[in-house]
Amino acid sequence: MIRSALFVTAVIFLALGLFLMGECRFLIPYRALLLHEYGETILLFSVALFVNVFTAIYLICRELFLKDTGRKLAHVDKQLRSGQSISEELSRYLED
């Protein structure tokens, strides 16, 4: 799940970068000055934004894909303990 969230975040950042490169063409003559003066600040902001977007996507993925996981695992545990519709080997393992 972490890899999926990381991939989606990278795709979003790539799309955002391409969009900004197209919209900020008027800054091309000042590129060296901007990177020299504000490079650290831009990098720090980009890292903070990446972490926040990654966290948001990770939490959304957990909410969507792991819904009712506890209830489902409790159901499987109940079946294991009762021996119903689960293989005998698993039931014997649980009894030990």
pLDDT at site 78: 72
Is the pLDDT at 88 greater than 80, yes or no?
no
Q: What is the pLDDT of residue 71?
A: 66
Q: Is-contact 9 54, C-beta < 8 A?
A: yes
Q: How confident is the model at residue 33 (pLDDT cuts 50, 70, 90)?
A: very high
Whole-Å CA distances, 79 to 30, 69, 76, 85, 92:
67, 15, 5, 7, 13
57 vs 70, residue with greater confidence: 57
pTM above 0.95, yes or no: no
Residue 49 DSSP one-character state:
H
Q: Does residue 52 have a pLDDT over 80? A: yes
pLDDT in the model for residue 84: 61
At residue 66 the predicted structure's pLDDT band, cuts being 50, 70 and 90, is confident
